[in-house]
C-alpha cells in the first residue's frame, strides 16, 4: 500500500497498524498536536533533546523535496572539533607534529 501522498494523520495511523502486527519491537516517537510549539520546544530543551521536527497536520510527504510544512529546529549548537588517529609512531620516527 503506497501512502506516500496521504496526509500526515493517515500515514501515522497506517504506521500504527503495521507496527502493531510487527514481530520485532519498533519504537516510533510520539507526536503532539495539543500543545503549543513554544511549550514543546521548552520541554525538549529541558530533556536535552537534539532536535524537534514540526510537521503541519494534513501535510503530504513528497520524496526528495523539502517542504515548509516540515520544520526542523535544532536545539543544540554543534561543536566544532576534529579528531585524528593512527598507529603509534615507532621510536625515533618523526611525526607530522614534529615531535
Q: pLDDT tens digit string along 77-91?
A: 766 767 666 676 677
The answer for residues whose C-beta is within 8 angstroms of residue 3's C-beta and 6 or more apart is: 10, 11, 14
Q: Residue 99 pLDDT more than 60?
A: no
d(CA 73, CA 68): 12
pLDDT, tens only, 43-63:
999 999 899 988 888 888 777
The reported pLDDT for the residue numbered 45 is: 92
The reported pLDDT for the residue numbered 33 is: 85
Looking at the chain, the whole-number percentage of residues with pLDDT higher than 70 is 76
Q: Residue 97 pLDDT more than 60?
A: no
Residues present in the chain in total: 99
Q: Which residues pair with 90 in a beta bridge?
A: none
Look-up of cell digits 501512502: 3
Amino acid at each position: 500500500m503506497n501512502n506516500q501522498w496521504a496526509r500526515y494523520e493517515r500515514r501515522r495511523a497506517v504506521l500504527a497498524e503495521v507496527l502493531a502486527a510487527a514481530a520485532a519491537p519498533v519504537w516510533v516517537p510520539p507526536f503532539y498536536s495539543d500543545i503549543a510549539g513554544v511549550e514543546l520546544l521548552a520541554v525538549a530543551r529541558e530533556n536535552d533533546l537534539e532536535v524537534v521536527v514540526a510537521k503541519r497536520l494534513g501535510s503530504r510527504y513528497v520524496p526528495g523535496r523539502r517542504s515548509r510544512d516540515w520544520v526542523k529546529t535544532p536545539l543544540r549548537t554543534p561543536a566544532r572539533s576534529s579528531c585524528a588517529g593512527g598507529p603509534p609512531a615507532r621510536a625515533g620516527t618523526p611525526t607530522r607534529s614534529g615531535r
